[in-house]
Amino acid sequence: MTEQSILNWLRKQKNVEGIGDDCAVLNEWLVTTDMFIEDIHFLRSLPPETCGYRALARGLSDIAAMGGDPRWCLLSLALADWCGERWVRGFYRGLLKLAEKFAVKLVGGDLSHSNRVTADIVVIGFAPKGKALRRDGARVGDGIYVSGALGGRPVLPEPRIAFGKKLRGRASACMDLSDGLSLDLKRLCEASGVAAVIDLPLPVAPGATIEQALHAGEDYELLYTAPRKAGGTRIGTIVRGKPGRVEFFGRKLAAKGYDHFRSNRGD
Amino acid sequence: MTEQSILNWLRKQKNVEGIGDDCAVLNEWLVTTDMFIEDIHFLRSLPPETCGYRALARGLSDIAAMGGDPRWCLLSLALADWCGERWVRGFYRGLLKLAEKFAVKLVGGDLSHSNRVTADIVVIGFAPKGKALRRDGARVGDGIYVSGALGGRPVLPEPRIAFGKKLRGRASACMDLSDGLSLDLKRLCEASGVAAVIDLPLPVAPGATIEQALHAGEDYELLYTAPRKAGGTRIGTIVRGKPGRVEFFGRKLAAKGYDHFRSNRGD
Please give the Cα distance from B218 to A8 (Å, whole number): 33
Please give the Cα distance from A73 to A51 (Å, whole number): 16
Average pLDDT for A105-129: 91
pLDDT tens column, B29-66: 899 999 999 999 999 999 999 999 999 999 999 999 99
With CA atoms as reference, report the closest residue to A160 among A143, A173, A178, A172. A178
Which residue of chain B has the CA closest to A14?
A: B96
**How many other CB atoms sit within 10 Å of the CB of residue A18?**
15
pLDDT of amino acid A259: 66
In what order do the strands lie in the sheet containing A105-113? A24-26, A29-37, A118-126, A69-79, A105-113
Which residue of chain A has the CA closest to B88?
A: A6
Which residue of chain B has the CA closest to A109?
A: B33
Which phi and psi (to 5°) does residue B99 adopt? -60, -45
Please give the Cα distance from A28 to A188 (Å, whole number): 22
Amino acid at A187: R
Give me the sign of the Cα torsion angle B86, B91, B95, B98. positive
Within B82-235, residue ranges assigned H as helices are 85-101, 161-167, 181-192, 210-215
By the CB < 8 Å criterion, does A114 face chain B? Answer: yes
CB contact under 8 A, A118 and B115: no
Please give the Cα distance from A153 to B238 (Å, whole number): 56
Average pLDDT for B102-129: 93
Taking CB atoms and an 8 Å cutoff, what residues of chain B touch A114? 37, 39-40, 116, 118
Q: What is the mean pLDDT of chain A?
A: 91
- Angle between helical axes of A85-101 and A48-65 (0-180°, round to 10): 30
pLDDT of amino acid B23: 62
In what order do the strands lie in the sheet containing B118-127? B28-37, B118-127, B69-79, B105-113
CB contact under 8 A, B106 and A15: yes
pLDDT of amino acid B129: 83
With CA atoms as reference, report the closest residue to B234 among B208, B200, B210. B200
What is the predicted ipTM? 0.77
Please give the Cα distance from A183 to A190 (Å, whole number): 10
Cβ pair B133, B167 in contact under 8 A: yes
> In chain B, positions 50-109, which contact chain A (CB-CB < 8 Å)?
72, 74-76, 78-79, 84-85, 88-89, 92-93, 96, 99-100, 104-109
Range scoring the smallest mean pLDDT among A258-267, B10-19, B133-142: A258-267
Which phi and psi (to 5°) does residue A176 adopt? -100, 155
**How many other CB atoms sit within 10 Å of the CB of residue B6?**
12
pLDDT of amino acid B22: 66
With CA atoms as reference, report the closest residue to A125 among A159, A155, A171. A159
Pairing of the two strands B28-37 and B118-127? antiparallel
pLDDT of amino acid A264: 39
What distance separates the 2 farthest-apart alpha carbons in chain B?
70
- Name the CA dihedral angle for B121, B126, B132, B133, rounded to a multiple of 10 degrees: -30
Q: With 60 as the cut, is the pLDDT of residue A266 above it? A: no
Taking CB atoms and an 8 Å cutoff, what residues of chain B touch A122? 31, 33, 74, 122
How far, in Å, are A131, A193, A225, A235 from residue A188 at the CA level? 18, 8, 9, 15
Within chain A, residue ranges assigned H as helices are 3-11, 48-65, 85-101, 161-167, 181-192, 210-215
- Chain B closest-CA separation from residue A19 CA (Å): 5
Average pLDDT for B142-153: 96
- Angle between helical axes of B48-65 and B85-101 (0-180°, round to 10): 30
Residues 6+ apart with CB under 8 A from A173: A133, A134, A135, A136, A137, A138, A142, A188, A191, A192, A224, A225
Please give the Cα distance from A243 to A256 (Å, whole number): 17
pTM above 0.90? no
Cβ pair B149, B187 in contact under 8 A: no
Q: With 80 as the cut, is the pLDDT of residue B149 above it? A: yes
> In chain A, positions 34-53, which contact chain B (CB-CB < 8 Å)?
34-35, 37, 39-41
By the CB < 8 Å criterion, does A113 face chain B? Answer: yes
CB contact under 8 A, B92 and A1: no
Give me the sign of the Cα torsion angle A120, A53, A116, A79. negative
Residues 6+ apart with CB under 8 A from B251: none
Q: How far is residue B50 CA from its own chain's centroid?
A: 18
